[in-house]
Structure 1
Amino acid sequence: MMPRPLFPKEHWLVTFLLTGTSYADRLLPCLLEQRVTEMADGGMGSLQFYPPGLRGDRRFGDDVAEVWLKDEDEVPVLATLLMDQHGQLFELNVWKVNFSPTINLQIP
């Protein structure tokens, strides 16, 4: 699967999670350049990031922020933003507590 830009709702969620963190000033201005692929999570909405110009081996480095949301069917969903060992966006993990695909996350 080819990396793609963030969809508007994904962009908003990542912005929400990054705001107020030590990464915000450096990464928020670059979100439009970010490319992602959807992860094999059964349709819950997790993403892997491919920062522009970053090459080589990447691995988990830091758990930056998380937020509990509700899906359209009222089932709770946990969204967690992870950074790699270089301080770049790594993954947006989305976990719906009943493991079903997300329908339409209710973002405040």
Structure 2
Amino acid sequence: MPRPLFSKEKIIVSQLLAGTEYAATYLPLLDELRVEDMNDGEMESLLFASSTTNRRYGGDIAQVQLQDEDGIPVMISLVIDQYDQLFELDVWKVDFSPTKNLMPFSGID
């Protein structure tokens, strides 16, 4: 069932959107967006809810690479679908272990 973004997820999405051509469209809607947790081994990837069907990967809006608390590299990508709608917040930890803290780049836990 889709849910609102948690506070830390809003921060990550807003930081990834900042400075992109999608910022003006999606930053004002952060409180309205709904997401579903993806089955990714607790790496914290999200699927953005949409009434559009048959969605597929359309491209990356932005990416950031950081180290998790345990020193393992993590790549976070904000992805759109083929209709330019937010599609996924893709989180990939290189050893596929659960993420511990995705906030070191923002200073918020």
TM-score strictly above 0.5: yes
Opposite residue 27 of structure 1, the aligned amino acid is Y
Query: Equivalent residue for 2:105?
Result: 107
Query: Equivalent residue for 2:12?
Result: 13
Query: Equivalent residue for 2:80?
Result: 83
Which ranges of structure 2 fall in alignment gaps of 5 or more residues? none
Q: Say whether residues 1:34 and 2:54 are aligned partners.
A: no
Matches of 2:101 and 2:56, distance apart in 1: 29
Matches of 2:30 and 2:83, distance apart in 1: 17
1:89 Cα deviation (Å)?
Answer: 0.4
Q: Say whether residues 1:74 and 2:92 are aligned partners.
A: no
Opposite residue 105 of structure 2, the aligned amino acid is I
Give the length in aligned residue pairs.
Answer: 105
Opposite residue 96 of structure 2, the aligned amino acid is F
Identity over the aligned pairs, expressed in percent?
Answer: 55
The CA deviation string for residues 13-66 of structure 1, in whole angstroms up to 9 with x for no partner, is 000001111111011101111111111110001000014xx3322111121100
Which ranges of structure 1 fall in alignment gaps of 5 or more residues? none
Matches of 2:45 and 2:53, distance apart in 1: 22
